[in-house]
């Protein structure tokens, strides 16, 4: 299951259980909606409740991230240690956004709201 909340230029996304393709498509649609109004999006991705993802999600993530490599300003990922290596690889390989991993969602939100 995926929950998405749109807050201005910030998308807050929480994943619970296994992330499947229909849920990932909802995230893609939310990003596209935001990009119609803004040049770049900030993303808060909370995967603390995620138990895994399907193979088709992994492939879709690579395709989507590559096609939107310049559309994210910052991505804050709230994650337990188990997802950190995979998320770091994906973000470094396919996007030029600033990406930070956090254990505390409040710290992630604060970082997203910082001005450069």
How do residues 44-71 score in pLDDT, each as one tens digit?
999 999 988 888 988 888 888 888 888 9
84-94 vs 55-67: helix crossing angle, rounded to 10: 30
Domain limits for position 35 = 2-113
pLDDT at residue 94 is higher than 70: no
Whether 74 contacts 98, CB under 8 Å = yes
Whether 47 contacts 78, CB under 8 Å = yes
pLDDT at residue 92 is higher than 70: no
CATH number at residue 25: 3.40.50.10600
Instruction: At 71, list the tokens.
Output: 């559309």
Reported as a single tens digit per residue, the pLDDT across 98-109 is 888 888 999 999
Total domains present in the chain: 1
CA distance 71 to 69: 6
CA distance 42 to 75: 6
């Amino acid at each position: 299951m995926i929950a998405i909340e749109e807050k201005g230029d910030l998308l807050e996304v929480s994943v619970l259980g296994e992330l499947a393709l229909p849920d990932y498509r909802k995230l893609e649609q939310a990003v596209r909606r935001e990009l119609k109004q803004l040049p770049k999006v900030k993303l808060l991705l909370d995967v603390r409740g995620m138990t895994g993802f399907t193979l088709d999600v992994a492939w879709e993530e690579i395709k989507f991230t590559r096609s939107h490599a310049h559309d994210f300003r910052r991505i804050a990922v709230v994650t337990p240690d188990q997802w950190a290596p995979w998320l770091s690889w994906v973000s470094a390989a396919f996007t030029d956004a600033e990406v930070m991993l956090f254990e505390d969602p409040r710290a992630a939100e604060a970082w997203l709201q910082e001005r450069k």
